[in-house]
C-alpha cells in the first residue's frame, strides 16, 4: 500500500494535479485544494462496498470439491471484446455506473448516469477515493481467466452475462491500480493486499466459478482450500 500511496502523492504533489502548480495566486490554491479531494483518504470510517453476499465458507468449501480440476486452457483467441461490457441496465445507466452507485457512499449521478461525486472504499487495499476515475470495477474472476477455464466455449450472450453479472459477487468497485496489478491472476498468484479480506474474496471466487461451471487448476484449488479452511 505504501508504494501505491507514494505514486499518487509524491513529493512533487499528486500526479493528477501537477499542472495546477504552474498557476499562481488564490485561484491556483483553490484549484489545488479541490483537486486534492481525489487523493486517497486513509483515515476515518470507510463506506462498505456491497456486492451480493457470497456463499458461506462452509458452502464454498463444498463447492470447491465439486469444481472440475484441470490444467488451464489456452489464451488463444481471447479478446475482451468477446465479453461485451458495460451493458445498459436502465435508461442511461450501464453496469459500471450501477456498481459505482451501489458500492459507493453519497454518490451523485448526472443526467447521463455518470458518478460526479461520492466516496468509494476499496476493500482490497483499504483506501477510500472521492473521484470515480480512481475506481475500477473488478471482475472478481477475470475475463481472461474465465476464458482459459471454460468460457472460450460459451456463446457471446453468456460471456456478456458473465461480464455484467450483478446477481452474483462478480463485480466490485476497487482502487484502479490495485485492480490493474491483479490483472488476470487467480488466487494462487494474487490475493488482495488487505489479507483480512481474503476469506471473502475466496468465497466470492468459488461462488462465481461454481455458478458458471468454470474449471479450476491444481494450484488455484490448493490456494483457495487453504484460505477457506482458515475462515
Closest CA to 175 of 229, 207, 112, 128: 128
List 144's β-bridge partners, or say none: none
Q: Are 216 and 60 in contact (CB under 8 A)?
A: no
Letter string b/e over residues 175-211, b meaning 16 or more CB atoms within 10 A of that residue's CB: bbebbeebebebbbebbbbbeebbbbbbbbbbbbbbb
Q: Are 85 and 164 in contact (CB under 8 A)?
A: yes
Per-residue pLDDT band for 39 (boundaries 50, 70, 90) equals very low
Q: Is the pLDDT of residue 25 over 60?
A: no
The predicted structure's pLDDT at residue 50: 76
Closest CA to 197 of 116, 125, 109: 125
Three-state SS for 222? Answer: helix
Which residue has 488476470 as its cell numbers? 184
The predicted structure's pLDDT at residue 116: 97
Domain ranges of the chain: 1-39, 40-229
DSSP string, 104-142: EEEEEE-TT--EEEEEEEETTTTEEESSGGGEEEEESS-
- Structure confidence by residue, pLDDT tens digits, 176-196: 999 999 999 999 999 999 999
Q: Provide the whole-model pTM.
A: 0.80
- Structure confidence by residue, pLDDT tens digits, 139-165: 999 999 999 999 999 999 999 999 999
Amino acid at each position: 500500500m505504501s508504494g501505491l500511496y507514494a505514486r499518487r502523492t509524491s513529493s512533487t504533489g499528486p500526479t493528477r494535479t501537477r499542472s495546477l502548480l504552474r498557476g499562481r495566486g488564490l485561484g491556483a490554491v483553490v484549484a489545488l485544494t479541490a483537486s486534492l479531494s481525489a487523493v486517497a483518504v486513509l483515515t476515518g470510517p470507510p463506506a462498505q462496498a456491497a456486492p451480493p453476499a457470497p456463499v458461506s465458507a462452509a458452502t464454498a468449501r463444498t463447492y470447491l470439491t465439486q469444481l472440475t480440476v484441470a490444467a488451464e486452457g489456452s489464451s488463444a483467441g481471447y479478446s475482451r471484446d468477446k465479453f461485451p461490457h458495460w451493458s445498459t441496465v436502465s435508461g442511461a445507466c450501464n453496469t459500471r455506473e450501477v456498481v459505482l452507485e451501489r458500492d459507493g457512499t453519497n454518490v451523485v449521478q448526472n443526467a447521463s448516469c455518470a458518478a460526479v461525486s461520492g466516496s468509494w472504499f476499496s476493500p482490497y487495499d483499504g483506501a477510500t477515493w472521492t473521484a470515480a476515475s480512481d475506481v475500477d470495477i473488478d471482475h472478481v474472476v477475470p475475463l481472461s481467466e474465465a476464458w482459459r477455464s471454460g468460457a472460450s466455449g460459451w456463446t457471446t450472450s453468456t460471456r456478456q452475462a458473465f461480464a455484467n453479472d450483478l446477481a452474483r459477487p462478480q463485480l466490485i468497485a476497487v482502487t484502479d491500480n490495485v485492480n490493474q496489478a491483479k490483472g488476470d491472476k487467480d488466487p494462487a498468484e494474487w490475493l488482495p493486499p488487505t489479507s483480512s479480506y481474503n476469506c471473502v474474496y475466496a468465497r466470492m471466487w468459488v461462488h462465481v466459478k461454481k455458478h458458471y461451471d468454470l474449471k479450476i487448476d491444481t494450484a488455484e484449488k490448493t490456494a483457495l482450500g487453504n484460505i477457506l479452511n482458515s475462515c
